[in-house]
Every structure is written in structure tokens, then in C-alpha cells.
Amino acid sequence: MVDKDAVIVAAQSEGQFTKAYDYDLIVIGAGSGGVRAGRIAAGYGARVAVIEGDRPGGTCVIRGCVPKKLLVYGASFAGEAEDAAGFGWQIEGLSHSWSDLIAAKDKETARLEGVYRTLLKNAGADLIEGWGHLKGPHEVEVGDTIYTAKRILIAVGGQPSTPDVPGLAEYAITSNEALDLHKRPDHIVIYGSGYIALEFAGIFRAFGSKVDLIYRADLPLRGFDMDVREHIAEALRDRGINLISGRTIAEVKKTAEGHVVTLDDGSVLSPDEVMAATGRAPNINGLGLEAAAIETNARGAIKVDEWSQTSATSVFAVGDVTDRINLTPVAIAEGHAFADTIYGDMPRAVNYDAVPSAVFSQPNIASVGLSQEQAEEVYGRVQIFESRFRAMKNTLSGRPEKTYMKLIVDADTQKILGVHMVGPDAAEIMQGMAIAVKMGAKKSDFDAVIGIHPSAAEEFVTMRAPRA
């Protein structure tokens, strides 16, 4: 690894652009981070090639957050239809076509794939279709052709990771396949408790599937704020999802009727489908990292410095393959910063403080900043402001579900350290909260704001008394 000055000096003294190689920059991976880096670099005048062995757009656009969010939208109409009766709507003969939804989703992802192709073309970057393998610090092999570049950027993302359980890898689907099921399962077992598991549990349950959610811990969403974890667990149960906590899957078998899932306590479930949602791992298999002496950590993530530079000075990496903050907007920010630094004479590193995130479960979860547990560890004394309330919509719909909001405040400085929400439109509301946290807002700043009434968001500026 080298420091900032070395990165910049190298870019300037050696020249960003050279005819000594086929390209100034080769990007391996046409996902969000790779495409952003490639087209920004090309905009600065670099000769750029982007290599992709699957479909341009990457995980987020093709098999991740975008198609999954479309299914979340589709699933939400089931709850809207139920709630409508409380407002006088009489809806009879309600039905749903799973195949029509999947077809519509596929049409949209195909459109977005075309957008990504166009972005690269309009930027003047070459799209090379095929799997890229490193042959050295300046060489990438695609098929029988070796391409050379002054610099290489690895942006290949992550892939589903399945634990070593007999029959699980063989018979279980992952998030990749869950988005393309031709038939909605009547009964699905989902193994895991992270955001992917919760999102798909909500999707399948809303469309009418029986859902068993199995996980080792006492509560879902390890690493999230404890109050958020407790609240979402209650909400999932209220939505009809069967939470089986403190358990692991011992074995999965396939039968003519479906699957047989045996848990570690000997109990047996018989679902139509089994889904492994047990995390993701850096997608480095077959990448040829050893050819360029690129170092990885214990999880297989590519080690990088703050400038996204690997142990090979000509090779950089961004996005989930580095296992920093595995979010699409972060990968985009890293790719853009890389291009600005190397090709735009605007050196900058990504600031990872106060990165907001959302879980599109039902109900939604969104957070920015520290959890209470993290804040207490770092700052010691903190104040907690929270609100649990039944949203106005639910008073007529009859839905018992409550929204939960939480502010974590440094007791000494009154600075807002963390903001958390479980409830409808949590992600939309949290984006504004993230701006405030990023700017260093204090509790008095929130108190000085007049709320929008009636709205859920106003609760964030009307919490006056800290939790005892």
C-alpha cells in the first residue's frame, strides 16, 4: 500500500494516459461501481475497457436491490388492499399473477441493462463481454485474448455464501434464484436473519406463502440497534412470519413433494422451497489475484488502502469485493473517487462516516450513525429519545402495527449520534436525517424545527424527554 502523495505523484509523473498499453484503465465488472469509475475516467480522456462476464448492471440492477425492491412494491399492495376496507373500499375477487410480476420485473431489468450499456458507450468506453482473469499487474485475459492496461480496477462485487450444511448448497435457492422463481412457493423456509432474509420473508409472506424464518441468534439483524431488532421481530410475527430463533439447519433433503428440512433440535419442516440467505462473500473465485500478488483478508476480501489501491500498485478495487461497507451507493462513491483521483486531478478519498442504510422489510427499517450499543462504547454517556406510535393510517385500517423511532444523543455535547426507524417510508425519511447527522446536528437543532403535521416524520422533531 502507498500513501496519498505516492498515488498522486505516480499518476502525475508517469502520466495518466499512455500508448504503452491497450488501455489506460481496464475495469473488471460492469456493476454500479465499475461502470461509474469507467465512464468518469473515460470522461477525463482515459482509454477505458469494462469487462463483464454476465449482464451489465451487476448485482444491484440485475439480481439485487432493484428487482428485489420491485417485488417489495408488488408485495406492499397486499397490505394496501387489506387496509382499504377500513376506509370504505369493498374489494372483491382480488387475485395476483406471480408470473406476470416476474415478467414485468424482467422487462425492467432488461431496460436498465440497456441503460448501463448506453452509459458506457456514450462515455467512449469499450464493453468487453466475457469473464476477465488477471494474468499479471497490467494484464487481463478474456477468452483467448489478453488485454493490457496501465491500471486495473476490480469491481466484481459479492456472491451468496452458503454454510456447509448437508444438502443446503445442493437443494436451497439463494437470492439470485428467488428473483426468478416461475412459481410462488406455498411454503418456504428461509435460513438467515440479515437484510436479505427479512426482505424476502416479507415478500413471500405478503404474496400468501407460509414463511418459516430460521436463525441462530435470539433476534434478527445482528449488528443493528437492539431496540430496532426487538421491534422488527415483533412486527414480523404480527405479519404472520414464523420466527424460529436459536436454531440451525442440520440437513436438507429433496423429495418428490418438495423438501425435508431437519433442524438441530431434531424438528422437521416440509416446505416447497428452501432459501439460504446466510450472507455474501467477495466474488474472487477465478479472478487470478495471485497472478498480480494481490492480498486478501481472512474473508477473501481484497485488501485496499483509503485510495482503493491494492498490494499491487497498478491494481485498485472498489465495492463489495473489498468488504468495506457493502452498499451500492458506497461502491458508486468509491468508483467515482478513484476516477477523480487518478484521472481528474481531484484527489479525494471516500468518507465512510454516517452512511445511511435501509432494510426493505415489511415494515421498512432505516438507520444512520451509531447504534445505542456502539454509541455507549465510544461515547460513554448517551441519551435516548424514542417514540412508539400507531400510524394514523392504521387507526382506520385496524392494523395494530406500530412505528418505532429512536434518536441517540451524546449526553455531553448533545450531538446526534444515531437515528433509527422501523415503519412505513423509513428509507425516504432517513435520507433527510442522514444529511442532518452528516452535518453534525445537535438535539437542539432538531427541537428548533417545526414538524410537518400530520406526518410520521414530525416525530423526529417532537421528542422532548429522554428515556429514563
Which residues touch 320 (CB under 8 Å, ≥6 apart)?
Answer: 59, 157, 158, 280, 282, 283, 326, 331
Which set of grid coordinates corresponds to residue 422? 422501523
Which set of grid coordinates corresponds to residue 13? 509523473
Going from the C-alpha of 164 to that of each of 10, 92, 170, the distances in angstroms are: 44, 47, 11
Catalytic status, residue 182: no
463 vs 454: CA distance, rounded Å: 15
Q: What is the DSSP secondary structure assignment for residue 453, as one 8-state letter?
A: S
Which set of grid coordinates corresponds to residue 160? 451468496
The full length of the chain comes to 468
Closest-CA residue to 51 (of 156, 122, 158, 160): 156
468 vs 460: CA distance, rounded Å: 18
276 vs 200: CA distance, rounded Å: 11
| DSSP alpha helix (H) spans, 97-139 | 98-123
140 vs 146: CA distance, rounded Å: 6
Q: Which long-range contacts (CB under 8 A, 24 or more apart) does 109-112 make?
A: 109/57, 109/61, 109/62, 109/66, 109/67, 112/57, 112/61, 112/62, 112/66
Which backbone phi and psi does 173 adopt, to 5 degrees? -90, 165
441 vs 451: CA distance, rounded Å: 16
**Roughly what angle, to the nearest 10 degrees, separates helices 65-84 and 195-206?**
40
Closest-CA residue to 193 (of 234, 235, 152, 245): 245
User: Order of strands, edge to edge, in the sheet holding 249-254?
Assistant: 249-254, 259-263, 268-269
**Which residues are identified as catalytic?**
453
